[in-house]
Amino acid sequence: MTEKLTPTDPARVGGHRLLARLGAGGMGVVYLGRAESGELAAVKVILPEYADRTEFRTRFRREVAAARRVDSPWAVPVIGADPDAPAPWLATAFVPGPSLAEAVAACGPLPPRGVRVLGRLLARALTAVHDAGLVHRDVKPGNVLLAADGPRLIDFGIARATEETALTSAGMIVGTPGFLAPEQARARPASPASDVFALGCLLSYAATGRPPFGTGAVDALLYRTVHDEPDLAGVTDDTRAFLERCLAKDPAARPPAREVAEILADDTSDEDLDWLPDAVVRLVAERSAATLALPDIEATALDARADGRPSDGQPPDVPSDVPADAPAASGPVGRRRFLLLGGAAALLAAGGGAALWATRRDDDGTPSAAPPRARRWVLGVQADLTGPRKALGQAQERGVRLAVEQFNSRADKPFTLTLRTVDDRGDETRAAEAARTLAADRDVLAVIGSTGDGTTGASLDSYDEQLVPQLTVSSAQSAYGTAQPRHFLQTVPGYTNLPVTAAFSLRAQGARRVAVLIDRAGAVPAWEFGRTMFQNLGVIGIAGEPRVVPRLAENLAATVAEMVAHRPDGFVCTGTPARVAAVARALARTDFDGPRVLGHPAAGPEFLTAAGAAAEGWQVFAPYIAPSAAPVRAFATAHRKRYGAPPAYWAAEAYDVARMVITRLVEAGGRPSRQQLYDLLAKGTYKGLVRTYAFDEEHRWWLKGYETFRYEVKGGRYSYAGKADA
State the Cα torsion 203-208-209-211 to the nearest 10°: -60
- Say if strands 686-687 and 570-574 run parallel, antiparallel, or are unpaired: unpaired
Compute the C-alpha angle 92/75/182, nearest 5°.
115
Q: Which residues of 312-335 are buried (b: 16+ CB within 10 A; e: fewer)?
A: ebebeeeeeeeeeeeeeeebbbeb
Cβ atoms 420, 378 nearer than 8 A: yes
Write out the H or E segment, with its range, that includes residue 29: strand 28-34
3-state secondary structure of 217: coil
Neighbours of 641 (CB within 10 A): 9
CA 179 to chain CA centroid, Å, is 15
138 is catalytic: yes
CA 281 to chain CA centroid, Å, is 24
Nearest to 577 by CA among 605, 544, 617: 605
Cβ atoms 420, 379 nearer than 8 A: yes
SS3 content of the chain, % helix, strand, coil (to 5): 40, 15, 40
3-state secondary structure of 243: helix
SS (H, E, C) 315-344: CCCCCCCCCCCCCHHHCHHHHHHHHHHHHH
**Category of 40 on φ-ψ map: left (φ > 0), alpha (ψ -120 to 50) or beta:** beta
Contacts of 288 (CB under 8 A, 6+ apart): 96, 97, 340, 343, 344, 347, 348
What CA–CA distance (Å, rounded) separates 46 from 88? 6
Helices 100-107 and 278-292: angle between axes, nearest 10 degrees: 120
What CA–CA distance (Å, rounded) separates 251 from 185? 13
What CA–CA distance (Å, rounded) separates 295 from 366? 9
718: β partners: 713
* 49-58: long-range contacts, CB 8 A cutoff, minimum separation 24: 51/86, 51/87, 51/88, 55/167, 56/27, 57/83, 57/84, 57/88, 58/167
- Say if strands 444-448 and 570-574 run parallel, antiparallel, or are unpaired: unpaired
Contacts of 52 (CB under 8 A, 6+ apart): none
User: Sheet of 377-383: strands edge to edge?
Assistant: 417-423, 377-383, 444-448, 470-472, 488-490
Neighbours of 84 (CB within 10 A): 10
Strands (E), 342-433: 377-383, 417-423
Contacts of 267 (CB under 8 A, 6+ apart): none
Q: CB burial class (10 A; 0-12, 13-18, 19+) of residue 440?
A: exposed
What CA–CA distance (Å, rounded) separates 452 from 477? 10
DSSP state at residue 517: E
Cβ atoms 86, 243 nearer than 8 A: no
Active-site residue (options: 138, 303, 364, 384)? 138
Active-site residues, by number, are 138
